[in-house]
Amino acid sequence: MCGFVVSLTNKPCDVSHERKAIAAACERMAPRGPDAQGIWQENGVTLGHRRLAILDLDARAHQPMSSACGRYMIVFNGEIYNFRELRAQREAAGDTFCTSSDTEVLLALFAAEGEAILPKLRGMFAFFIWDTAARRGFAARDPYGIKPLYYARTEKGWLLASQVKAILATGLASRDPDPAAQAGFWLTGSVPEPRTWYRDIRALPADHSVWIADGALETPKSWWDIRDNWRQASGDALPNQQVQEQVSEALKDSVRAHLVSDVPVGVFLSGGIDSGALAGLMREAGTANLQGITIAFQEFTGKHEDETPVAASIAHHYDIMHHVRMVTRKEFEQDLPAILDAMDQPSIDGVNTWFASKAVAELGLKVVVSGVGGDELFHGYPSFRQLPRMVALWRYVACLPGALAAAQWGCNLQARRTGNARWSYMPEWARRLPTAWLLRRGLFAPRELPALMGGELATAALQEFDPEAWITGLSEPLPHDPENALALLESVTYLRNQLLRDSDWASMAHSVELRTPLVDAWLLRHLLPMARAFRRFPEKRLLAEAPVSALPEAVIRRRKTGFGIPVQPWLQQMGMIREGGLSRGWAKKLVDIGWKN
Phi first, then psi, for residue 120 (nearest 5°) are: -85, -15
pLDDT of 512 reads: 98
Q: What is the DSSP string of 346-382?
A: -BS--HHHHHHHHHHHHTT-SEEE--TTHHHHTT-ST
pLDDT of 15 reads: 80
**Can you state the angle between helices 467-475 and 179-188, rounded to 10 degrees?**
80
Q: pLDDT of 238-257, one tens digit each?
A: 899 999 999 999 999 999 99
pLDDT of 563 reads: 59
> What is d(CA 362, CA 226) in angstroms, rounded to the nearest whole number?
36
Phi first, then psi, for residue 269 (nearest 5°) are: -120, 100
Reported confidence tier of residue 597, pLDDT bands at 50, 70, 90: low
Q: pLDDT of 358-403, one tens digit each?
A: 999 999 999 999 999 999 999 999 999 999 999 999 999 999 999 9
Least confident of 248-262, 339-353, 418-432, 554-568: 554-568
209 vs 298 pLDDT, higher one:
209
Q: What is the DSSP string of 193-252?
A: TTB-SBTTEEEPPTTEEEEEETTEEPPPEES--HHHHHHT---TTS-HHHHHHHHHHHHH
For residue 43, the one-letter residue type is N
Sequence-distant (6+) residues with CB within 8 A of 180 are 195, 460, 461, 464, 465
Q: Are 140 and 127 in contact (CB under 8 A)?
A: yes
Q: pLDDT of 464-512, one tens digit each?
A: 888 889 998 888 899 988 999 999 999 999 999 999 999 999 999 999 9
pLDDT at 121 over 90: yes
Q: pLDDT of 199-247, one tens digit each?
A: 999 999 999 999 999 889 999 999 999 999 999 887 777 899 999 999 9
pLDDT at 574 over 70: yes
Element (H, E) at 151: strand 150-153
User: Hey, what long-range contacts does 16-25 have (CB within 8 A, 24 or more apart)?
Assistant: 18/46, 19/46, 21/46, 21/170, 21/171, 21/172, 22/46, 22/47, 22/48, 22/170, 23/48, 24/169, 24/170, 24/171, 25/161, 25/166, 25/167, 25/169, 25/170
Q: pLDDT of 5-51, one tens digit each?
A: 999 998 777 788 889 999 999 999 999 999 999 999 998 999 999 99
* pTM exceeds 0.85 for this model: yes
